[in-house]
Amino acid sequence: MTPFETCIAALKQPGPPDALFKAIDKALAETVGHKLFTLLYVAPNKRRVKRLYTNMPKEYPVGGYKEIKSTPWHKRVVEEKRAWVGHNAKDIEWAYFDHELIKSLGCESATNVPVVYAGRLLGTANLLDVAGHYKESDVAKCEPFAALLIGPFLDAIAADPDIGR
């Protein structure tokens, strides 16, 4: 089976999306590579996020809602729903408030791929690796896997305690 076919098989499994998240993690590691992989749900108000998955749970635990601020990164990825590729430590510092932790993990490049459905941003798939690892062309390789996350991100909206307030 191809990495994508493995993800499709995981998508069809009943229960929580953990098997799908792990399959996408592995598939993206094989497709474009990464040291750190996280999935962030973005609340419809675009001001709160919740980490749904991480391959480094000690450094980046799953769960809990966190407020996010309007930054140039937020404008591009969250507001405009456009992928972002960072190539070096300076880009990481520009994009992430926790850039020191990211650099301590050996990550100095990133690709953030929006998960979008019906024109709505649902979340982001975030891949980080060594400096110079990602190219703009990697986004197109990641997008089919991001599309497989629509269901779990819609479930995250349904489970959000602040929806409807």
What is the rounded CA–CA span in Å between residue 114 and residue 1?
26
Burial string for 98-118 (b: 16+ CB within 10 Å, else e) reads ebeebbeeebbbbbbbbbbee
The pLDDT confidence band at residue 163, using thresholds 50, 70 and 90, is: confident
Question: Is the predicted pLDDT of residue 162 greater than 90, yes or no?
Answer: no
In this prediction, residue 69 carries a pLDDT of 86
Query: Do 92 and 102 meet the contact criterion of CB atoms below 8 Å apart?
Result: yes
- How far is the C-alpha of 102 from the C-alpha of 118, rounded, in Å? 32
Q: Return d(Cα 134, Cα 87) in angstroms, integer.
A: 6
Give CA separation, 16 vs 8, 22, 81, 135, in Å.
15, 12, 26, 32
In tens, the pLDDT along 54-87 reads 999 999 999 988 888 889 999 999 999 999 999 9
CA distance 113 to 39: 10
Q: Residue 83 phi/psi, 5° resolution? A: -65, 155
16-30, 76-90, 126-140, 151-165: least confidently modelled range: 151-165
Instruction: Name the DSSP class of 75.
Output: I
Structure-token pair, residue 92? 């990481």
Cα separation, 124 vs 163, in Å, equals 19
Mean pLDDT score of the chain, rounded to an integer?
95
Name the band, by pLDDT with cuts 50, 70 and 90, for residue 164.
Answer: low
Question: Which domains, from first to last, does the chain contain?
Answer: 33-159 (3.30.450.40)
